[in-house]
Amino acid sequence: MVSVFWFRRDLRLYDNTALNKALESGYKVLPIFIFDQNIIDELPADDPRISFIYDTLFKINKELNQYGSSLKIIKGDPIKVWKELISEFEIEHVFWNKDYEPYAVSRDNQIKQLLSTKGIKFSDFKDQVIFEENDILKADGKPYTIFTPYKNKCLQKLNQLSIKVDVQVNFELFYSSIFPFPALSDIGFKKSQIKVKDFCLDHLEQYAAKRDYPFDDVTSYLSPHLRFGTVSIRKIFNELKTSDEVFQSELIWREFFMQILFHFPDVLNENFKRKYDGIRWRNNESDFKLWCLGKTGYPLVDAGMRQLNQTGYMHNRVRMITASFLVKHLLIDWRWGEAYFAQKLLDYELSSNNGNWQWAAGTGCDAAPYFRIFNPIEQLKKFDKDLRYVKKWIPEFGTTKYPEPIVEHKFARERALKTYKEGIRA
């Protein structure tokens, strides 16, 4: 008899809630990872996120090998994979950490049903968040839809919490066997040239003051690691100081958007505020292509898009400016921008991507008012006045090769205001 632990968005051996519970189950633990065809079949062959997952799994497997164990890695449809596992192993109990995205919830419910019909126990645990979907609710038991009161309730609860980080792993309790580790090509992918950077929290004392200046780059590069769980959120919260409140607030935004997506799954394809459904987007395909390529003639927008295309990262302030430009200046549906970011961002997180795009469009739960329209020229003067960020990403800037603006700011602003006013339903 074995217990099975299913790695998903928790790619680490240490301070892994469900893994620790599996190791306490009284049975040897078989660790598995499934490359889910329902997700990966839509990705390009050199997707950098797959390369990152693969490299991380390789490191985990190498550590397990030192103790005579290994990861069992399978590519396929999860339901079919689980049916094969059940026929191959005598499974007593299955453990995994919860995922709150609509597809994952549906998939996990199907697998729970399958395990139940086979008489196999299963347990799932909170791991990728400090507060999950029903931990922070209003007095009436309903979810928060405004960030500030949600954040205040989180901070209140955090002050009462003792966050435990468990770094002990008893490797003797893993199932003994050495499974073949597949090549990346066996999964249908090849190595990406784009790399996920190591995260660093050493300069958080500068974060609040400098976080809006893209060239200074005081960002932590933490987000892909939280997305794939190579570090535990508990460890991060435990390392923060009182003075890191601005950074902590960003982490709370992540959890806020997760619970919004869980409670309001329609936001995947619909405006959170349905009164905006009447907006008539222009959706000009040539304008969209120029935005994607970073050739709009607005330097801060273009630098951001080129950084994204070349590295999979984009500075947070610049994300807001590029998103606002697409939906307000070009009047292109936020869903187009959301989908493009989903393809390119190394830290792509469905809930945050959706929440932030709806924020930029003014259609979200806690959105910027529709009449707040970033002026990309003024934003450039304010946050990159010496053009260091722009020149880093736009080598032809200042030459005749750099294009003129595709739309004039004042005209675009007035057009956006008119379109929004006409489209809002009472």
Per annotation, catalytic residue among 82, 96, 253, 359: 253
- Based on the residue annotation, tell me whether 336 is a catalytic residue of this protein: no
- Based on the residue annotation, tell me whether 6 is a catalytic residue of this protein: no
Per annotation, catalytic residue among 316, 378, 408, 414: 316
Per annotation, catalytic residue among 6, 334, 336, 359: 334
Cβ–Cβ under 8 Å, residues 232 and 14: yes
Bridging pattern class, strands 72-76 and 91-97: unpaired
Q: Is 334 exposed, middle or buried (0-12, 13-18, 19+ CB in 10 A)?
A: buried
- Based on the residue annotation, tell me whether 250 is a catalytic residue of this protein: yes
- Based on the residue annotation, tell me whether 357 is a catalytic residue of this protein: yes
Per annotation, catalytic residue among 281, 284, 309, 375: 281
d(CA 86, CA 100): 25
- Based on the residue annotation, tell me whether 96 is a catalytic residue of this protein: no
Cβ–Cβ under 8 Å, residues 236 and 226: yes
Q: To which residue do tokens 């090549």 refer?
A: 183
- Based on the residue annotation, tell me whether 281 is a catalytic residue of this protein: yes
Cβ–Cβ under 8 Å, residues 395 and 308: no
Per annotation, catalytic residue among 63, 101, 132, 250: 250
Other beta carbons less than 10 A from residue 62's beta carbon:
12
Q: Which two tokens stand for residue 227?
A: 């997305």
Cβ contacts of 75 within 8 Å, gap of 6 or more: 34, 35, 37, 40, 182, 186, 187, 188
Residues catalogued as catalytic: 250, 253, 281, 316, 334, 357
